[in-house]
A and B are shown apart, each in its own frame.
Chain A
Amino acid sequence: MTNKIVIDELLCKGCALCTEACPQNLIIMSSEINRQGFLPAQISAENLEKCSGCTMCALVCPDVAITVFKGCA
């Protein structure tokens, strides 16, 4: 089952609220400044495999920067 979150780097302001919301701590903050001048949230390919598509990160995101996809088994 492959689930996925997509973090829109142009909308993310680097607030990091999603990092604590994720029950598996799969999201970290990038060390590269994005075009807006923020350090956006990001998820590694490896962590993405573990993502359950629970949408916790998206729920707390103030900028609707995260969209979530759930794969059907």
Chain B
Amino acid sequence: MNTQMKQVFSRPDSLKDVQTHFCPGCQHGTIHRLVAEAMDHFAIKDKTIGIASVGCSVFLYDYFDIDVIEAPHGRAPAVATGAKRVHPERVVFAYQGDGDLAAIGTSEIIHAANRGEQLTIIFVNNTTYGMTGGQMAPTTLPGQVTSTSPTGRDVASQGYPMKMAELIGSLDGCSYSARVAVDSPKHVIQAAKAMRKAFEVQINGAGFAFLEVLSTCPTNWGMSPLAANKRVGEEMIPYFPLGTYKDNSAV
């Protein structure tokens, strides 16, 4: 066999070659790869500072080959603001879950966006608190059973899931806001493109970029990875439509 084999898919250089602690089928792993691919694409690994939030993604520094600062729960956009103001030429991104960003951290994310901070925010929405064992999150769907909405989320008393991509996109300070998913090869390709855009906006100094990525949480949804993946398409995307909600970054 003398045909020349070319590798067409491989681990991005910015992603350490280690097994992750994420549960089987958890799409944090996929999203980590997309972030790393974007960093490789722009060759900014040495320039990037990652801000780790508190949740399943707290071990950012074990997986990305970059400098990392750990933020308290919900405060990553503020820590990122401080870092970016001190080192404006470095690329700063925060990677947060829905409990971190849409519950305790709503003030920080809204004001960082409103100030138009030159930041890239990756917001992973899996409609639950993963690390702490599956409690109701601000993005938990109506009727969704969690450990703290045992009879299903009752919107009358616990309110509605928050649509962060739209909310952040509505702020004048925000240059780019979109929502993507990684539940199919096609969606992964679109998500990778949006991920590059979210970094490109910052690299070009064109303002605040926000990317919401829908994700599975098989363990806490009590589903198999395949069933959980199906749920993204059947239940989450109808409530959290994919698309670009703001793009005036002229990029």
Chain A contact residues, CB within 8 Å of chain B: 1-2, 4, 10-11, 13-17, 19-21, 36, 38, 53, 55-56, 58-64, 66-73
Contacts and interface: CB of A to CB of B under 8 A. Distances in A.
B6 A69 contact: yes
Interface of B: 1, 3-11, 15, 19-20, 22-30, 33, 182-185, 188-189, 218, 224-226, 229
Contact of A17 (B7, B15, B225): B225
Looking at chain A's contact residues, is the secondary structure mostly helix, strand, loop, or mixed?
A: loop
A66 B33 CA distance: 12
A61 B188 CA distance: 10
A72 B2 CA distance: 10
Given A2-B1, A2-B3, A17-B225, A64 B8 contact: no
B8 A62 contact: no
A69 B8 CA distance: 5
B7 A67 contact: yes
Nearest to A53: B8
A17 B185 contact: no
Contacts of A11: 19
Nearest to B30: A62
B5 A69 contact: yes
Nearest to A63: B29
A17 B11 contact: no
Contacts, number: 91
Contact of A72 (B3, B10, B30, B182): B3
A73 B33 CA distance: 30
Contact of B188 (A36, A59, A66, A72): A59
Contacts of B22: 62-63
B33 A64 contact: yes
Nearest to B188: A59
B1 A63 contact: no
19 contacts: A4-B5, A13-B25, A16-B225, A53-B8, A55-B8, A60-B30, A60-B184, A62-B20, A62-B28, A62-B29, A62-B33, A64-B15, A64-B33, A66-B9, A67-B9, A68-B8, A69-B6, A71-B4, A71-B5
A15 B227 CA distance: 10
A70 B5 contact: yes
A59 B189 contact: yes
Contacts of B185: 21, 55-56, 59-60
Contacts of A20: 226, 229
Contacts of A13: 23-25
Pick the 8 closest A-B CB pairs, nearest first: A62-B29, A15-B25, A13-B24, A15-B225, A68-B9, A58-B9, A15-B24, A56-B185
A13 B28 CA distance: 14
Nearest to B224: A16
